[in-house]
Every structure is written in structure tokens, then in C-alpha cells.
Amino acid sequence: MTSPKLNNQEIYERIYAAISERRLLPGTKLSEERLAQAFHASRTRIREVLMRLSQELIVELHLNRGAFVARPSERDMQQVFEVRRALERAIAATLAARYGGQALAPMRGHLDAEARARAAGDRTELARLTGEFHVRLAEITENRLFSDNLRRLVALTSLVIAQYDAQAHSACPEHEHADIVEAIEAGDARRAEKLMLAHLDHVEAGIQPPKPPSRSLDFEQIFGTAAPDKPARQG
């Protein structure tokens, strides 16, 4: 019995999912040979998939050293959020204009799944679902440019989180997703947009890399040579 042959798109999707779900962490080497074995595919096909992932900035290709899961810099992260804000405010407004007055059943189902993961304390699943929330919203616009780009940006966001905060499994703050869905269902485009922007600010703030201490070192205090509060000797 032979295992089913996967096409390039399926291989792409599996590697993509492993990276965005943080089963493959930033900096992991993606050996063509080992991937070819794992997927029962030729190295040529694996190379094509890795090339596509590198065009999407999810994988880095290094001459002679091969492919690695990307390690986004702090500047990359800022750029990711700049584009996410621009796209996702448009997505929220588009959906509010189109679906105002209706219940968004698929999003309600998704919110229930998030609530269950939260209640169960399953932080890995919650992190996955809260990223997926943003992709699902983009999908229901039925504009593939929204959904394809969001999928990519959410994957890059996961990479940044994995890099800065591998243990924390950051997830989106509670209630904010539900508030966005509510504003869309109410047909309030301005409010949906505003809530989305505030939400993305919170997500970005939550994954800032640790900053070096801002207070400059106080050598006098360190060496015990500081002048006492009340001068001991005076005159």
C-alpha cells in the first residue's frame, strides 16, 4: 500500500500549518531531503514549495545552507501590523456593510470554539483559534486577496510570537473578537473598524519583545557612593 501522493499545494499547506501552529519554530532547518522523504515527493517539488514559502517571507533561503523557518525582526513585526491594520479595518467595514442585520453564524460558531478552548485552559488551541478568527473573517468577504494575504500575515504574526514568546502562547484578549462580530452584525462599519484597530493594537502590544531596562544604571547607588538624603556633613 502506498501513502496518498500529495500535490504541491497540499505540501505547501501542511508545512504552512506546521509553521503557523508553531510545531516548527523560527530558525528550524527545513532539509529538502528529509521533507522529500516525509512527503514521498521529489526534492524538486519540495524546492518549489520552499521557494513559494520564501516569497511569502515565512521561510528564509540561504545560499549553500538551505531553507529555514524565518526569524522575523522587530521591524518585520511592525510592518506586519501596519499592513494588518490597513487590511483588517477594511475587512471589518466591508463585512458590516454587507452583513449588517444578520447573524454571522460561522463566526458565532468560531467564537464558541474559542470560549471552549479558553474554558478548558488549552492555550495552544486558543492561540491557534484566535489567529484563525482573523483568517475566517477575511474568508467571509469572499475576496481572495483579503483571505490569502491575511493567512500569510497571521502566519508571520505566529512566527513573531513564537520567536519572542515561545512559552506564552499569546492569544487575542478575551471579548474583543465577540465585540467585533457584534458590531459587524449590527451593520456599524465605523465601530467594527474602530474595534478592529484597537484590537490589533492590543495584540501587537502583547507581543513586544522584552525591552532593555530603560533606567540608566545608577553607579553611585551600585557602588554605595551616593550622597545621603540628609547631608551628614555640612559646613
Residue ranges that bind Zn ion, judged by CB under 5 A: 172
| Shortest Å distance, C-beta 171 to Zn ion | 8
The smaller minimum CB distance to Zn ion, of residues 68 and 110, is found at 110
Q: Is 142 left (phi over 0), alpha (psi -120 to 50) or beta?
A: left
29 or 202: whose CB is closer to Zn ion? 202
Closest distance between Zn ion and the C-beta of residue 180, in Å? 8
* Smallest separation, CB 117 to Zn ion (Å): 13
Q: Which is nearer to Zn ion, 172 or 195 (CB)?
A: 172
* 84: nearest Cα among 22, 156, 24, 26: 156
Residue with Cβ nearer Zn ion (80 or 172): 172
19/133 Cα distance (integer angstroms): 17
- Report helix, strand or coil for 73: coil
Closest to Zn ion by CB, 15 vs 172, is 172
Q: Which alpha helices (H) appear in 121-228, and where do they start and end?
A: 123-139, 144-164, 176-185, 189-206, 219-222
Grid cell for residue 16: 504552512
Terminus-to-terminus CA distance in the chain, angstroms? 97
Least CB distance from residue 133 to Zn ion, whole Å?
5
Cα 144 to Cα 140, 141, 209, distances in angstroms = 10, 8, 32
| Min dist. Cβ of residue 145 to Zn ion (A) | 20
